[in-house]
Structures are given as structure tokens and as C-alpha cells.
Structure 1
Amino acid sequence: MNVFRKRRLSLTIFPKLIIAFLLVVAPIYGIGLGMNQLGEKSVREELSKSLNSRVDFYLNLLEVENEQMMGLLQQYAVDKDIQHAAFISNTMTIGEWTETVQRIQDKLQLIKSSNPYIKSVSAHILTLKRTISSDETISDAISPEYEAVASVSKLRGVGKYYWHGRLFMAIAYPGSDLPNMKATYVLSVEINEEMMKQSLQNFSDYKNAGAMLIHPENGWILDNQAGEGLTHELSDYLRNRPADSADEGYAQLSAGDSSYFVAYKRSHAFGYYLIAYVPSVEMVGAIDKYRMLLWLLSFVSLAFIIAYSYWLYQLIRKPLHRMIAGFRKVEAGKMEPMPLPKTHDEFYYLFQRFNMMTNNLKVLIQEVYEQKLRAQTSELKQLQSQINPHFLYNTYFILYRLAKMHDNDTVIRFSQHLGGYFQYITRNGSDEVPLDAEIKHSRSYVEIQNIRFAKSRITVDFSELPEGCGDMRVPRLILQPFIENAYQYGIETKRRDGRIAVTMTEQDGRLLISVEDNGERLTNADLQRIEANLVHQGANMEYTGMLNVHRRLQIRFGAAYGVSVARGEMGGMKATLRLPMPPSPGKAAESSDPSDLADPNDAKGV
């Protein structure tokens, strides 16, 4: 039952309306989403190109500045004043030493002022164990900063060093060019990280965007405003990249609850990466808003579609529901007209036609019912008129023979049975009789046949009628024709041991009355022909009485009842009458309303 209800619900108009609207609207929104995705993809590509070009341009500027600083260091690494201070300071007078130190400091200041990214310049004179700086006069001892660049003496040319979060460039003299000689002095430049940070701040025009320099190997990071989470993610990303991957690229990373577009490029001179990052919301925020608006529009449209479909459903549901209820009443046999709707629309026309249909059905049903009654009466009259002349001749011949033998008792008994028999089949009273009366008539017929045939030749056994079935009203002459067929077509030619059994049992709410004989004349072909006649109806059939009973039972009780035949256990034919069991005491009898009668077209009998 639940499955049926679910199936019926799935076939209602409401889901069909929603599906129809969605089929129309879905392609439009699909195209809109596709356009949004294509636009987002195009914007992402353009932004990636813009970020990459900015990174490339700024890193090239840094490389130019680095090359300039390295060139200055290489130029002043062979400066004569620094060499004099390192080699012949002991031969100088105080005045000459002072002038030499001053000139060296002026040159260091010149180097510093030549490039905004230089914070300080120092000359570490190892022979004197003293340092001359652009920011300070000559010291009494080697500056601690020398520790950052001490290993430069092993290199040829300029070296780059990261020391305590500071970036240095340095060159030694004579350096590795003369391996047998120790370095006499080292020129070093400290990079001005503050100036580089200021340059990084001007890198991007987006809000919360920025740039940073990261050396993933030694952990040096120069950042203007990135948070710790993003810095950590970028460092891990660069550190874990495959060794054979490109030195520049574009990626999207997540840090905390934020997502960033990142462009990076490696500096071959220093080994650090220049990284530009922009929050995704700043780059594609508008597109995300458009997407959200599109989804919002989709949900609103869906809600509108459902509401509109429900309104249409209600608009047609009420009259349609009333019409369905009217049809169900018609199915139940209640031909009631429905009140017309107030609106003069299509449903008004349908209700009008429905009322006309119910009126016509009432007329047709009444006519069909009357035709059923007429057919039932005429068939009964036909059966009553089918008094077998052979049977009539035999009865008169038996009376003649008994009278001649002066067997008056048998004549009296035979006349009584014969009179009751003809009175029952010829009377024009009610067409329906109690089942007891029908069985009594059949017994009278059997008594007549017993007088005709010797009891030792043919015996007839009647079982007991189930309790409560005697008063059941049935059409007249439904049992005797089957007993007559058993005599005539089954055992009339048997010389001895002929037997007819009439059994009455209850099974599955039905009363089954069976007439079975042990005749030997029934062939399989005859049995199949009788079964086919009972099922498919036909005209001019031999077993007129049997087919007549079958059709009258179906007219009276419905297509589920009637007559069926089969080969019985005794070898002859077994005809079974299927009748409804009468209602138990206290329950109402079945309705005799014309609408409760089965349609004669449903009957399968002949």
C-alpha cells in the first residue's frame, strides 16, 4: 500500500510542474555559471601574468643593484689607500696615517651613498686588526661583523652572507687568487633591509597584498607585512619543491582561513626568492560575489518556481481532486452529479460533461439491469420450456407399465413425484427459490429416475447441505439440469453400478455443489469443448441447460461464480456450481441495488 501511494505521489502534477520549469531554467543558469567560470579563469590568468611580470621586473632591479654593489667592492678591493693602511702603516707619520684613514672613510661613504640599498660599508684590516667603517671612525679592534664575512678569504670574488638575520656582501684581498698568502683586508657591505622593505611595500596595489624575500636554505626572510602563517607556508612550499622544478612559478596557497595567489622567482646572485602574494579575495573577490549572487538568484528562482508550481497545482488540484472523487463514486456505483465551479473555465465544461455522463450512465445502467432481468426471465422460461419429450414419453410409458402390473403404490408415488416435478419447472412465480427447494426438486427428479431405472443399476447419493445455506435464494433450476446430464450423457447406457454423487461443501467463503458420475462416454475432446464453451460463450451448443445455468449464476452473483467442469475421481464428468456463502446471522444481506450487479459483458459463460 505504501509503495502504491509513493508511486501515485510521484505521478502527480506538482513534481511534473517543477521538473518542467527546471528543464526550462536549468540551461540558462548552466550557461550563466559557465560564463562566470570562464570569466574567473580569464581573470586568474591575467592576474598571474601581471604578478609574474612584476616579480620579474622588481627582481631584475635588485639584480642590477647587486651587480653595482659587487662592482664597487671589486673596484675598491685594490684601492691604494687601503693597501697602504694594510701594508705600510708602520712607516707612516701620524699625519699621513690620519689622512689615509680619512680618505678611506670618505671612499666608504661614497660607496654607501652610491646605492640606497647599502646600509654600511666596512674595511676590516686584518694586519692591523682594526676596522674602518662608513659610519664610524677606525676602531681599536676588529669589528664583530667581521665574523659574518670571515670565510670570504677562501673565495674568489664577492661572497654573499647571512648572519644573524642580516645580509652582507664581501670581498677579500688578495683572496684565493694567491693561495699562499693570507688575506690582509676584507671589504664588506651590509644590505639595508629597511630600504628593501620599503621597496617591497610599493610592490602591489592590492589591499593586504605584499612581497617578501626568502632564502629557504638558511631561513633568511625579509617581509613587509605578511603574517607568520603565510610566511611559514611559503617557506615550506619553496623548501619542499622538487630539485628539478623551475626557479619561477605561480601557485595558490592557503594560510589559516585565507587563500593567496603567489608568484615567485629565484635570484641567481643571492639565492633568495622574491615572492609576491595577493589575497584571493582581492583578486577574484568580485567574481566570487557574482558567483554568490548567481547562486542566490538560482535559489530564489528555485523557490519562486516551487511557489509558482504549487500555486498552479492548487489552482488545478482542487477541481481535479473533486473530479477524481466523483469518478471514484462512479466506480463505487454512486451516480451523483457534482456542483459546478463558480469560474467559467475549462473545469466548468468538464464538470458539465461529467454530470451529463453520470445521468447517461444512470439511464444505461437501468436499461442494462432491466435487460439482465429480462434475459434472466427469458432464459428461465426457455429452460422451463425445454421439457425433454423423450423424458415425457418415458414417464408415461412407465405409468402405463406400472398400471398394467397393478402396482398401485408405485403409481401413486411416481405420480406424486412427477406432478411435483412438472409443477416446479412450469410455475410462473418467483424466479428465485430457497436452495432447500431446489435440492428437494432435484431429489424428486432422482426418485422419478429411480423408478425408471433399477436401484441396483444406478444409485444417487446426496451429501448434507452446510448449515445456514438452506434459506439462501438461488435461481430456479440450477441443480437438476446437471443431474439430468449425468443420466443422459454419463450413465444411461450402463447396465449396472451406475453412480451419481451430489456433494455440497464450503470452501474459501464459497458454497460448492458438485455433480459427479462414473460414466465412460466422456472423452477428453468432449471435456475440452465443454470447458471452452463455458469460458468463451457460443451459440447453438449441445449442453444448453449447463450453459444456461452458468450464465444465470454469473448474472445473479457475478463473474467470480458460475459452473466449472473437470474429470472426476470416478472417471466421469464432475460439474461444480460455485455460489457465494450466505451472510452469517446478524449481518445484512447483500445489496440488491442495480449498481451492485456485475456487467453482463464481464461474464465468461455462454
Structure 2
Amino acid sequence: MKKPTLRLRLLRSFLVILTPLVLFLYYENYYAIKIVREEVSQSTSNVLSIHITQIDRTLDEITHYLLQQIVTSDTKSAYLDMASLPETNGNYTLAKIKIHNELTSGSTAFENFHSFFAYSVKKEDFIFSRSSFTDTNDLKEMLGEYVREKVKGQSFSDWIVLRYWEKSYLVRVAQASDGVYIGAVLLLEDLIRPLRGLDYGDRWEAILLDTTGQPLTKSVMSPETMTAVNRKLVTNPLAFQVFENPADHKDYLLVSTDFKQAPLRLAAMIPEKSLLQRLPFFQGVIYLIPLGVIVIFIFYSHYLRKMLFSPMNSLIMGMRRVVKGDMEIGLKEAETEELNFLITTFNHMVSQISHLKINVYEEMLKAQQSEFKHLQAQINPHFYLNSLNIINSLSTLGENDLIKKMTEHLADYFRFITRSHRDTITIDEEVRHIRNYLEIQMLRFPEKITYNIDLPEPFSRTMILPLMIQPFVENAVIHGMEEGSKPFHIEISAGNCQEDPNCLEILIRDNGVGFTPEVLSTFNQKKFGDGTGTHMGIWNVYRRMRMAFGYQAEVTFLLGEPNGAIVRLTIPAIGAFHEMEEEEDGKADDR
């Protein structure tokens, strides 16, 4: 599992520390805005409630004024005359003048008041404190119909809302005498006009509603908004609440207040943005917090990169180059004391490792060369002893001619070894020694051994290790030849590997007894011992091949078809050994 980097851990730590602070600031500002919203909403609701209270007080005073008109002796007699005297009587006219003057003087005491009126049902005679001809005609038609309907058995006790054409009125009627009624008329637009003069921004709206939620005053609100307002007021009739306008999807403060003296309800929608426009600090902080976090994060990242990450990355890259074997590095000093100490120590360590590596490499070369020479010297006596054993056997048999040929072959071989002292030879030279060995064995076992060597010309000059093939040929003769009249045949061939054209393949085949399963498994697992047992020759060759060619050298043991054994030697076919050959030839010429 890959561990997290230092950069990631530091960034996590920064976020762990900064995130709670940012959340706290957000919560603090959110809480402050919430408190301010509630306070402003409560204050706004109180202001509107004060206006409603003032209107209620005015309505109560008007009601009291109407009742006072009925019971006051001066006005009471005038209403009685209006009810009992005919219209042609002079006192009737004086009574009407007196009532008009009284109602006109009384209407001046009330602000945003529309008109007082007196109405004789029998005579269908109206008296208005308001002198506008158009208004009085509209009022006569509306009030006359209303009073006549009420006279049929209903009482006049409360303020009611009447609508005439596109206007809505608030009306209060009282009976002054038999057939004569007095009352007050207020235009609802006049009642709400002072509220619309309050400074709550450009898009705030105040409207009067009846008990069913229907608008009584003019409004710019859409039907969709009005429906949503009514639903909100019915389901949650609070003094103030936050309301999302479906028309523009913005938040509004919805304030609703019921009138005590009339069947009316005030609904006011104030944009929340207008209420909070005096709070730029809190709103600004909300927007500045993310920007501030980004700025801090950028500076923090730049600081960490300059002070920590860049030196650390440089140090890590240097270590990776050292792992790859590149010692030619020199890291720049850091700006902090701790990292500078690490980088200086690293530079000094790399310098020491470079010198130590050179010394160790030289010692390894010397040791490897010494071991190689030792193995080379070890194989020569091994072959020599086997040859002496053959000569001894021939001497016992009295084969002097064969002994002569054998000694000539041995003399040629050891003359070559003692003269050249080379680490590599050509395959052609190796094959020449193998021919000498096989000729000796053929002299020893007439008509018992045959051989065939297939060495194409391009491979005859390829450089290999001395005595790399001969020990396997010798083992084949010693361990593979069967008793009887069947000839023992050996084949030696060289060529490129099928799987890799840059690989040289040497095959030693025979038709002998082959390998037992146990021996075949042991050999392919490279269990040749330590060079002191029965498989010393194989171990010696394998060890020298690995020292010279590395893991590209391989020895494989196979069973032949239908019988016999196969030994496959593979080494890299590179031009380095040709150069070594030229170098050795040059040294030989110098000698």
C-alpha cells in the first residue's frame, strides 16, 4: 500500500486546522445575520403594527363620534326633524344644514378620512361631508343599496367592506332615528397610503386583504404570488416569516397583521435584501471568507513549496538518481537550517559512496579475476589427469602407437594453454581440442565411438571460455556410453538461438543412456555441488559462464529422442569478445 506523501499530509493538516475556523466564521456570520434578520423583522413588524393600531384607534374614534352624534341633544333633534318633517319644510332644510356642518367639522379631525354621511331611507336623501360630485354619486348608489338591504331586518354593528367598481370602502353605519342613518366611509387605498410611504426599498409591497384572503387594494403582485401568500398566511399565520416569492424566487419578509376594528388583514412583502442592506459588513464577510481562504491557501502552498517541498523534491530526485547509479550530482543548499543540513550531509554521503563504490568495484574485479584464474587453473589439471588415466590404460594394453598419438595431442593442448594464458578462445580452437580428445577415445575404443561437429563459418570465430564445451563431451563419453556393440555417437553444433538472434546456442547430443529423472531434475536446478564433488567439471563451467556472461549464460539438460542426452549452452553473441580477441592478439604480438 502506497503511503501518503508529506505534501498531502501537510495539506490535510492545513485543511483540518483551517476548515473548523472557516466553518466557525460562517456560522458566526450566519448567526449574526439571522439575529439581525429577526430583529429587523420584528422591528418592521412592530412598525406596521403601530400603523394598524393607529388605524384601529381612528376607526374606534369614528365609531364613538357616530354614537355621540346620535345621543347629543343638538344633533339628535336635527336627525328627528330630518325623519319627521317633509322635505318642503324650512326646518327640514335647516336640520340638513346643521347635520352637514356637524359632519364636515367632524371629518377634519380624522386623517386619511373619506366622508361622513346621513341618509333618510324614506326620502332617499343623502348628506355627505365630502363635496365631490362624482364620489358622492358613487357613494349614494353603493350606500343606498346597502342600507336598504340592512333595514330589512339586519342590524348595523360593525365595520364592513363594500366594493363599488374597482374601489373598496370600509363602512360603519348607525341608526340616528326612525328611518335616518348616519355613517362613515373610508377608502381603503387612503388607509394603506401612509404604509406605502415607509422606506423599505423599491420592491416592497403592502396590501389589504379581506377575511378570505382576497385583495382589497391595488397591488403589483402576480396572481401566482397572491395565491402563494394566501396559502402561507393560512398554513402559518405568524406575525412575520421569510417567504420565497415564486415569481422571482427571491426571499421576502412576509408581515401580516389583523385589524381589531374591521374585517381586514394587512399583508406586507419586504425584500430581505432591502432589510439587510444596512449590514454590508456581515454580508461582505460571507463573500470574503472563501476568497480569503483561497488567498491564504495560495500563499501557504507557495511558502511550503519554496521552503520545504522544493528542497525535499530535490533531495528525493537526488536519491533516485543515486539508486539508479548516478553519482554525478550536487544538490543546492536550502534556505532552512534543517534541510540545508540534510542536503549537505547527502552531498557528502554521495561523494563518499562514489569513492567507496569505485574502490569496491576495483576489489570485486580483482577478486573475480582471481577466482576466474583459479577455476581456469582447476580445469586444466582435471583434463590432464583424465588424459593420464587414458595413457595408463593404453600402456597396460601395450598400445604404444596410440600412446604416441595421445601424448602428441596432450603436448599440443598444453603447449597452447601455457603459451596463450588467454581468458577466451574461439569455438574453432575449442573444437580442435575436442577433436583431439575424441580421436584419443576412438583410438581407445575402436569402432565404438563416432562423432560429428557442425560449426558454420560465421560462428567459428566467436569467442567463448576455454574448455567450456570439452567437459560435457568428456562426461558424455564417460557416463553415457553403453556396453555392447552399439556405436556411441556424439554431435556438436553451434548457431543462433531461435528465441533471440543475439544469443549463441551450442548443443552437445549423444545417443547414450541419457539422464535418470533424478539426475535430470538435479542438473536443471543447478545443484552441481560446490566444485569438490563428482560434478566438479559441470560446476566449474557453469560458474565461469556466470562470472563472464552474467545471468544471460545458461546450461540446460534434456533427454534425447528416442534416447540419449542433450546439453544446451547459451551465451550472449556480442561483439565484446571479438574486441577481447584483438586485444589478446595484440598482447601476444608484444610478447
TM-score bracket for the superposition, by shorter chain length:
0.7 to 0.9
Please give the alpha-carbon distance, in whole angstroms, between the structure 2 residues aligned to 1:449 and 1:192. Answer: 138
Structure 1's 208 and 475: CA in aligned 2 closer, same or farther, altered over 3 A?
A: same
Corresponding position of 2:207: 213
Q: Could you list the runs of 5+ residues in structure 2 that have no partner in the other structure?
A: 584-591
Report the TM-score, using the length of structure 2 for normalisation.
0.77
Quote the offset at 1:588 in angstroms: 9.0
Aligned AA (1:90): P
Structure 1's 245 and 42: CA in aligned 2 closer, same or farther, altered over 3 A?
A: closer
Corresponding position of 2:303: 308
Corresponding position of 1:561: 553
Quote the offset at 1:351 in angstroms: 1.2
The 3-state SS of whatever aligns with 2:126 is strand
Quote the offset at 1:486 in angstroms: 2.4
Aligned AA (1:359): H
Corresponding position of 2:506: 513
Please give the alpha-carbon distance, in whole angstroms, between the structure 1 residues aligned to 2:76 and 2:483. Answer: 158
Output one character per residue of 1:276-312: Cα deviation in whole Å (capped at 9) or x when no partner: 5253242654322112232232122112112212322
Is 2:204–2:270's contact at 8 Å kept on the other side of the alignment?
yes
Corresponding position of 1:597: none
Corresponding position of 2:423: 431
Structure 1's 391 and 273: CA in aligned 2 closer, same or farther, altered over 3 A?
A: farther
The 3-state SS of whatever aligns with 2:506 is strand
Corresponding position of 2:521: 528
The 3-state SS of whatever aligns with 2:21 is helix
Aligned AA (1:145): L
1:353 aligned to 2:353? no
Quote the offset at 1:369 in angstroms: 1.1
Quote the offset at 1:147 in angstroms: 4.4
In the TM superposition, 1:168-187 aligns within 5 A as 168-171=169-172, 187=183
Structure 1's 119 and 558: CA in aligned 2 closer, same or farther, altered over 3 A?
A: same
Quote the offset at 1:556 in angstroms: 1.3
Corresponding position of 1:577: 569
Corresponding position of 1:32: 25
Is 1:253–1:259's contact at 8 Å kept on the other side of the alignment?
yes
Output one character per residue of 1:74-97: Cα deviation in whole Å (capped at 9) or x when no partner: 776898568647643426612x12
Corresponding position of 1:99: 94
Is 2:118–2:180's contact at 8 Å kept on the other side of the alignment?
no
Please give the alpha-carbon distance, in whole angstroms, between the structure 2 residues aligned to 1:53 and 1:220. Answer: 23
Report the TM-score, using the length of structure 1 for normalisation.
0.76
Structure 1's 273 and 171: CA in aligned 2 closer, same or farther, altered over 3 A?
A: closer
Corresponding position of 1:376: 372
Corresponding position of 1:549: 541
Please give the alpha-carbon distance, in whole angstroms, between the structure 1 residues aligned to 2:532 and 2:121. Answer: 142
Quote the offset at 1:483 in angstroms: 2.0
1:116 aligned to 2:111? yes
Quote the offset at 1:113 in angstroms: 3.9
Aligned AA (1:143): N
Structure 1's 193 and 562: CA in aligned 2 closer, same or farther, altered over 3 A?
A: same
Please give the alpha-carbon distance, in whole angstroms, between the structure 2 residues aligned to 1:542 and 1:460. Answer: 25
1:473 aligned to 2:463? yes
1:274 aligned to 2:275? no
The 3-state SS of whatever aligns with 1:564 is strand
Corresponding position of 1:442: 434
Aligned AA (2:523): I
Is 1:214–1:235's contact at 8 Å kept on the other side of the alignment?
no
Please give the alpha-carbon distance, in whole angstroms, between the structure 1 residues aligned to 2:7 and 2:315. Answer: 12
Structure 1's 101 and 574: CA in aligned 2 closer, same or farther, altered over 3 A?
A: farther
Please give the alpha-carbon distance, in whole angstroms, between the structure 1 residues aligned to 2:311 and 2:102. Answer: 98
Output one character per residue of 1:207-253: Cα deviation in whole Å (capped at 9) or x when no partner: 66866124385443467xxxx5x777753531454854436540143
Please give the alpha-carbon distance, in whole angstroms, between the structure 1 residues aligned to 2:223 and 2:94. Answer: 51
Quote the offset at 1:492 in angstroms: 4.9
Please give the alpha-carbon distance, in whole angstroms, between the structure 1 residues aligned to 2:580 and 2:190. Answer: 109
Quote the offset at 1:320 in angstroms: 3.0
Please give the alpha-carbon distance, in whole angstroms, between the structure 2 residues aligned to 1:71 and 1:571. Answer: 138
Structure 1's 207 and 540: CA in aligned 2 closer, same or farther, altered over 3 A?
A: farther
Quote the offset at 1:359 in angstroms: 0.7
Quote the offset at 1:432 in angstroms: 1.1
- Aligned partner of 1:486 among 470, 473, 476: 476
Is 1:250–1:263's contact at 8 Å kept on the other side of the alignment?
yes
Please give the alpha-carbon distance, in whole angstroms, between the structure 2 residues aligned to 1:439 and 1:37. Answer: 96
Corresponding position of 2:138: 144
Structure 1's 144 and 523: CA in aligned 2 closer, same or farther, altered over 3 A?
A: same
Is 2:66–2:182's contact at 8 Å kept on the other side of the alignment?
no
Structure 1's 93 and 221: CA in aligned 2 closer, same or farther, altered over 3 A?
A: closer
Quote the offset at 1:324 in angstroms: 4.5
Is 1:73–1:170's contact at 8 Å kept on the other side of the alignment?
no
Output one character per residue of 1:116-165: Cα deviation in whole Å (capped at 9) or x when no partner: 2422223354543443211229x799722344454463565342124455
Please give the alpha-carbon distance, in whole angstroms, between the structure 2 residues aligned to 1:28 and 1:568. Answer: 81
Please give the alpha-carbon distance, in whole angstroms, between the structure 2 residues aligned to 1:459 and 1:261. Answer: 115
Structure 1's 342 and 18: CA in aligned 2 closer, same or farther, altered over 3 A?
A: closer
The 3-state SS of whatever aligns with 2:551 is coil
Output one character per residue of 1:251-287: Cα deviation in whole Å (capped at 9) or x when no partner: 1436759754333345574343332525324265432
Corresponding position of 1:299: 294
Please give the alpha-carbon distance, in whole angstroms, between the structure 2 residues aligned to 1:81 and 1:460. Answer: 163
Corresponding position of 1:363: 359
Structure 1's 427 and 530: CA in aligned 2 closer, same or farther, altered over 3 A?
A: farther
Q: How many percent of aligned residue pairs carry the same amino acid?
A: 18
Is 2:242–2:251's contact at 8 Å kept on the other side of the alignment?
no
Please give the alpha-carbon distance, in whole angstroms, between the structure 2 residues aligned to 1:140 and 1:317. Answer: 93
Please give the alpha-carbon distance, in whole angstroms, between the structure 1 residues aligned to 2:87 and 2:21. Answer: 93
Aligned AA (2:471): P
Is 1:562–1:579's contact at 8 Å kept on the other side of the alignment?
yes
Is 2:240–2:253's contact at 8 Å kept on the other side of the alignment?
no
The 3-state SS of whatever aligns with 1:128 is coil
Please give the alpha-carbon distance, in whole angstroms, between the structure 1 residues aligned to 2:48 and 2:510. Answer: 112
Is 2:41–2:240's contact at 8 Å kept on the other side of the alignment?
no
Please give the alpha-carbon distance, in whole angstroms, between the structure 2 residues aligned to 1:107 and 1:371. Answer: 137
- Aligned partner of 1:189 among 185, 190, 194: 185
Is 1:120–1:135's contact at 8 Å kept on the other side of the alignment?
yes
The 3-state SS of whatever aligns with 2:515 is coil
Quote the offset at 1:524 in angstroms: 2.6
Quote the offset at 1:513 in angstroms: 2.1
Corresponding position of 1:253: 244
Structure 1's 264 and 512: CA in aligned 2 closer, same or farther, altered over 3 A?
A: farther
Structure 1's 340 and 293: CA in aligned 2 closer, same or farther, altered over 3 A?
A: closer
Structure 1's 306 and 397: CA in aligned 2 closer, same or farther, altered over 3 A?
A: same
Corresponding position of 1:178: none
Aligned AA (2:160): G
Please give the alpha-carbon distance, in whole angstroms, between the structure 2 residues aligned to 1:524 and 1:549. Answer: 22
Quote the offset at 1:167 in angstroms: 3.3
Quote the offset at 1:109 in angstroms: 3.1
Corresponding position of 1:496: 486
Corresponding position of 2:168: 167
Quote the offset at 1:503 in angstroms: 4.0
Structure 1's 97 and 86: CA in aligned 2 closer, same or farther, altered over 3 A?
A: closer
Structure 1's 184 and 435: CA in aligned 2 closer, same or farther, altered over 3 A?
A: farther
1:133 aligned to 2:128? yes
Please give the alpha-carbon distance, in whole angstroms, between the structure 2 residues aligned to 1:502 and 1:34. Answer: 90
